[in-house]
Amino acid sequence: MVETTKNDGPAGEEGLREGEVAVPPPAQFDASLYFIGRIRTPWKRREECPKNARESEAVCTVELDPRWIEGLKGLESVSHVIVLYWMDKARRDLVFQAPRDYRERRGTFALRSPVRPNPIALSVARLLRIEGNTLSIVGIDCVDNTPLLDIKPYFASTDSVPDAAVGWHAKRKR
Ligand SMILES: C[S@@+](CC[C@H](N)C(=O)[O-])C[C@H]1O[C@@H](n2cnc3c(N)ncnc32)[C@H](O)[C@@H]1O
């Protein structure tokens, strides 16, 4: 069964905004994963967070579970890291949604909203320093204590696509 709503206005914690569509999730998960640490930020609530990684210059920290510390070897020479994290406060059943800051409805996979079947977020962050199992970074947009999934070096040579476009977003800004 597909759940839709005609209610307008801000969604409640479990509510839907007008025209949003939720679908029932599959009966079981296909994989499991490890939270390998936590991201510590100044923001306690979703509403306080930057909308994206470039919106704040706040220095935040990634606290890696010490069991994985060997995995940081070599990372000290890296200027920017891709941080993958788990948006643990997001619902997972919306396929069509109206994000708080846009209001226009779009398919989940056309958006960077944390609300998705697998609420995996990514940011490219500047790596300031590594002290033991703690990384200081600039460029993250999650609430304090958000679970960490992975850290990878950002390669400008292969990860950067300078002429990439998101048509609906460009139109919206005009
Ligand atoms: C638009 S998402 C972008 C996330 C990531 N930069 C990306 O592109 O995948 C960022 C927003 O997610 C929300 N958010 C932050 N931490 C969250 C969490 N732990 N669970 C659910 N939502 C979160 C906040 O409203 C924040 O402004």
DSSP annotation string for 110-163: GS--S-SSS-EEEEEEEEEEEETTEEEEE-----TTEEEEEEEE--HHHH--TT
Average pLDDT estimate for 9-31: 81
List the chain domain ranges: 3-156
The reply to whether ligand 1 has any atom less than 6 angstroms from the CB of 121 is yes
Place of tokens 């200027």: 79
Structure tokens given for 31: 């994989």
Rounded distance, CA 156 to CA 10, Å?
A: 39
DSSP label at 167? H
Place of tokens 């460009």: 170
86 Cβ contact partners less than 8 Å away, ≥ 6 residues apart: 33, 35, 119, 120, 121, 146, 147, 148, 149
Beta strands 134-138; 3-4: pairing state? unpaired
Structure tokens given for 114: 């944390």
Q: What is the pLDDT of residue 99?
A: 82
Residue-wise pLDDT for 104-124, tens only, equals: 899 999 999 999 999 999 999
Tell the CATH topology of 3-156.
Answer: Elongation Factor Tu (Ef-tu); domain 3 (2.40.30)
Ligand 1 centroid distance, CA of 117 (Å): 14
Question: Which residue of 35, 109, 143 sits with most ligand 1 atoms within 8 Å of its CB, as the best mutation to test the pocket?
Answer: 143
174 pLDDT exceeds 70?
no
pTM of the model: 0.92
Q: What is the mean pLDDT of the chain?
A: 92
Beta strands 146-153; 106-107: pairing state? unpaired
The reply to whether ligand 1 has any atom less than 6 angstroms from the CB of 146 is yes
Of ligand 1's listed atoms, the one at least distance from the Cα of 120 is: 9
DSSP annotation string for 69-93: GGGGTTGGG-SEEEEEEE-TTS-S-
